[in-house]
A and B are shown apart, each in its own frame.
Chain A
Amino acid sequence: MEFLTFLLILWAAWLVWRRPERERLAFGLLVASSLLMALLFLIGTHTSFVPGVNL
């Protein structure tokens, strides 16, 4: 899934660089890849979402 995240990011960067008129799509890809990144982190920490220390 990390690979997919990077593909989305590359796509967004390419649009911003070469197709700046597609800003809405590029920003959507930025948001989607951010959510995917956050989801993967939450998967990795789902057995203890908060730090394993005294709170």
Chain B
Amino acid sequence: MTALAPDRLRTALAWVVIALIAIPVGGAVVLWVAHGDTPCILCWSQRTSMILIALVGLFVLRYGPRPRYLGMAVLLGTWGVFMALRHSALHLARDVGQGFAAPIFGVHTHVWSWFIHWIVLAVIGVLLLLMRGGFGEWGTRNTGRTGRIAFALFVVVVGANALQAIVTTGPPPFIGQADPVRFSLNPRHWVWMMEELEGRVSLRGSWTIPQPNPEAADPDPTHGPLAPLPSLPVLAWERIGLPLTGKLTDLSRDPASGRFLAVTDRYGMYVLDSTLSRVQHRVVLDPGYSIDLSPLAGAAFLTGDTLALLATNKSYVLLRPDPQADPDREWRHFLETDGGITELRRSRFATVRARQMYVLSLAFDAAADELIAVAVPSPRHRRLVVSRFAGGDLLLASEFEPRLGAGLSPIGPERSAAEYVVTGAVVADGLLYAMSAAYSTLLVIDLQNTTVRGAYAVPGLLHPTGLAARGAQLLVAQADGRVAVVERPVR
């Protein structure tokens, strides 16, 4: 690559400064004058960052490429990329055409900001490649005609920005707004505020979601949020009669064959016979392959002998017993296998109301051909959300927060059904039975009118993790492999 002489390099740099000031920053001024466009507080910082990078360019024009100027330019460029990513992340996942403020050439300004800062870093690299010699002192140089144009344009454009800033954000200590209004010369329309100082300081905000820990839940039914509930006594105890890899996290029963499906927190999957004592199939999933699996928390038999497993992060795996399973093809899916299981699909459920919430249960509604998961609350999101996914495409079919039915009411204004931590769920006779590890309470949810029509205390449980139906009985599985048998309430 041919290096450029300092004078030519200085001229090239002057044009870079002119382009940076004239196109993105000057373009923003045009949008302001022509359309009344006003930046939000994050836009202001990104625009300022571009101006500061141009200012560093003016320093280099005047004094030469001193290391601290180049250091400032790189720091401002990297900070600008971060700011643009942070800003764009608010809007990138929205639906088609949605964003913040109007797009320019089909791209929103927060994305343009990322592109411009990225280009700045690339241009710095190119200019350094073209620079002849080291970082020797240039002394205070005449900036040349192009340089003078760059200085003059810089002062005019930044002066215009200062004027816009004093009107739209006000003098210190007022600061920019999250949702600015369009520009007006009428002082009655000016919005000067400091609302952006409000709110709790947080690294990740609403994404600060701890992993669910149902073992920490209070098992005492008398401490629950609902008024005194009727009890469902444990009629008998059964037990999974073989050692499992990890703790049991869900148990499902196939009503047609009587087989059981068990999953563990260490990615174990077991198909058991109707006595819970003999293994018909067994695999240990590879949780790190492609779509990541957090610990398994739900299991259900679907139609067609398909087995559905659900992880706490709503990633799911569909399996099928298959005597012709190809061991080489399945090697990538399983850390261990008995050789009789094929993986059909691995993907993720997407939710709306249950977004940013973990799940600890999975049920299958054969009549509706839908899978059902119940989200567990966190300190950030206190909701009880039932999400239903179509069996055909496994996309969200409907979602609701069940209302309390007649005869059920919280014991105080601060209490609600959102305190329940549902770790097991099953559908029977059109009702969703949901077992909560918190307060050892069974909720009976009517799927038609989305109402909790009954709630029952089940004393004597310790860390229930799964729920299955067997005729007129419910089987409450515990982490220790024991299974409590209770009568299945019909209301």
Contact = CB atoms under 8 A, between A and B. Distances in A.
B175 A1 contact: yes
Contacts of B159: 6, 10
A16 B41 CA distance: 28
Contact of B59 (A1, A2, A16, A49): A16
A40 B41 contact: yes
Given A1-B172, A16-B58, A40-B45, A27 B199 contact: no
A50 B52 contact: no
Contacts of A13: 55, 58, 151, 154-155, 158
Given A9-B55, A34-B52, A40 B205 contact: no
A2 B63 CA distance: 27
A1 B161 contact: no
A47 B201 contact: yes
Contacts of A14: 155
Indicate the size class of the contact surface on chain B. Answer: 35 or more
A44 B154 contact: no
B172 A37 contact: no
Interface string B107-137: 0000000000000000000000000000000
A20 B68 contact: no
Given A10-B162, A20-B140, A50-B203, A38 B45 contact: yes
Contacts of B62: 16-17, 20
A54 B59 CA distance: 39
Contacts of B140: 20-21
Nearest to B203: A49
A4 B49 CA distance: 14
Nearest to B152: A17
A47 B202 contact: yes
A46 B204 CA distance: 9
Contacts of B55: 9, 12-13, 16, 30
Q: Is the interface of A mostly helix, strand, loop or mixed?
A: helix
A3 B171 CA distance: 6
A2 B176 contact: yes
Contacts of A44: 40-42, 45, 175-176, 178, 196
Interface stretch (B86-94, B281-289, B390-398): B86-94
A37 B45 contact: yes
Contact of B86 (A12, A23, A31, A45): A45
Nearest to A49: B203
B63 A20 contact: yes
A51 B89 contact: yes
Interface string A15-55: 01100110100110011011001101101111111111111
A9 B52 CA distance: 7
B360 interface: no
A10 B203 contact: no
A52 to B, nearest CB: 6
Contacts of A23: 63
Interface string B168-209: 011111111010000000000000000011011111111100
Contact of B72 (A34, A45, A54): A34
A51 B85 contact: yes
Contact of A6 (B45, B165, B176, B205): B165
Contacts of B76: 34
A23 to B, nearest CB: 6
A41 B203 contact: no
A17 B155 CA distance: 10
Contacts of A6: 48, 51, 158-159, 161-162, 165
Interface in B413-462: none
B288 to A, nearest CB: 16
A53 B76 CA distance: 24
A37 B48 contact: yes
Interface of A: 1-7, 9-10, 12-14, 16-17, 20-21, 23, 26-27, 30-31, 33-34, 37-38, 40-41, 43-55
